Amino acid sequence: MSANQVFERGDRVGIYLQDKHSLEENVELVQYAEEQGIDEIWQAESRLARDAVSPLGAYAAVTDDIKLGTGVINNWTRNTALIAQSMSTLEELAGPDRIMCGIGAWWDPLAEKVGIDRSGALRAMRECVEVTQDLLNMENVTYEGEFVQMRDVELDVVHGDDGPRTVPVYVGGTGFKMLELTGHFADGALLNYLVSPEYNEKALDALETGAERGDRSLEDIDRPQLVVCSMDHDEETALDNARELITQYLGQQPHIMKASGVSQDLIDEVGETIGGWPADKDDIKEGMHLIPDDVVHKLTASGTPEQCREKVREYADTGCQCPVLYPLGDDRRLLIDEFADGYL
């Protein structure tokens, strides 16, 4: 991806797939999303439930045009050369201009539990992004970093086009230092979910600061954003579906909520109730009553179809260029149908 590529706000819409449904169901949903005109699919790689790369291969095999991204793989457990190799393989399967590589810095306590020390996360991410981009550009790479070391390494393409891959590299980050880094080096920022539109304004400032440091502008950085979308014709049902997810994340990844101004008292109370990671389902249910409706509305697009569309427009108005909707509830096709014609 050229550093001079300019991304403009459009009426793009994506879908974010997690692990609640079977892979067979997800494959069918991706096909349906493409038929309805959805632009992008981002596959989660959260906890140790499902990796992101394998499902994308399945989606690529049964679709023609929809873009497919990792949302996100981490830069600690995969060698950087393997990341580039995987993306090149996915492009061979999907065709050019369809694969997007989203990389994140992972999270504790999961990383620590599998023996990963995430000290130096900013430096590690910078090195990973730089080398991944160079390898995908089919360059021969020698790189002596603190975390990434390469000597005379390049992708070896035996079948097909051996020219540069058309895979932009995104960083999925929440903290403002990571977003500054993203603005400096990456092709795009996959902005996080369970944050408020007000958070986006600060995130854009950080991205712009980094972009200026790299002699770029904010518009050189693509900005899709994960958005939790709990849609139901019954507003209370939709809010309760989102409340469960918020409870889990407040207790397990409080840094996301803190970035949006959720009170420390609420974060602490929920954390004590559910007891950290991995959280027991009964403890999550017990903690749900602590989450008021205004917090649900603040951090998610939840409610009736029109309420969801209105909230998504708020994210678009504060810098999101492509809402990547995380559908909660059982009727995921309802969400696709409501957003198939855009949201503006």
Residues 298 and 330 in one domain: no
Question: Looking at residue 259, what is its pLDDT?
Answer: 72
Residues 199 and 273 in one domain: no
Number of domains composing the chain: 2
Non-local (6+) Cβ contacts of 20 within 8 A are none
Residues 257 and 283 in one domain: yes
Non-local (6+) Cβ contacts of 321 within 8 A are 7, 8, 9, 10, 12, 222, 223, 224, 225
d(CA 209, CA 176): 10
Contact 69, 98 (CB under 8 A): no
Structure tokens, 111: 């990383």
Residues 263 and 214 in one domain: no
CA 112 to chain centre: 21
| DSSP-derived secondary structure for 241-310 | HHHHHHHHHHHH-HHHHHTTT--HHHHHHHHHHH-SSSPPHHHHHHHHTTS-HHHHHHHSEEESHHHHHH
Question: Looking at residue 327, what is its pLDDT?
Answer: 97
Q: State how far the alpha carbon of 32 is from the alpha carbons of 41, 53, 232, 242, 246, in Å.
A: 12, 20, 19, 24, 28
The pLDDT tens digits of the residues spanning 194-220 come to 999 999 999 999 999 999 999 999 999
Query: Mean pLDDT throughout 161-175?
Result: 95
- The answer to whether residue 172 scores a pLDDT higher than 80 is yes
Question: Looking at residue 107, what is its pLDDT?
Answer: 83
Residues 102 and 189 in one domain: yes
Residues 48 and 130 in one domain: yes
pLDDT band at 9 (very low <50, low <70, confident <90, very high): very low
Does residue 43 sit within a domain?
yes
Write out the residue range of the structural domain in which residue 278 sits.
Answer: 234-303
Residues 160 and 281 in one domain: no
pTM of the prediction?
0.91
Does residue 3 sit within a domain?
no
Question: Looking at residue 10, what is its pLDDT?
Answer: 55
Question: Looking at residue 3, what is its pLDDT?
Answer: 37
The pLDDT tens digits of the residues spanning 271-330 come to 777 766 666 677 778 788 888 899 999 999 999 999 999 999 999 999 999 999 999 988
Q: Is the dihedral of CA 57, 59, 62, 68 positive or negative?
A: negative
Query: Mean pLDDT throughout 12-18?
Result: 97
Q: What is the CATH number of the domain that holds 198?
A: 3.20.20.30
3-state secondary structure 222-233: ECEEEEEEEECC
Mean pLDDT across the chain, nearest whole number?
91
Does residue 4 sit within a domain?
no
Structure tokens, 319: 């810098």
Contact 53, 70 (CB under 8 A): yes
Give 232's Cβ-side CA count (13 Å radius): 13
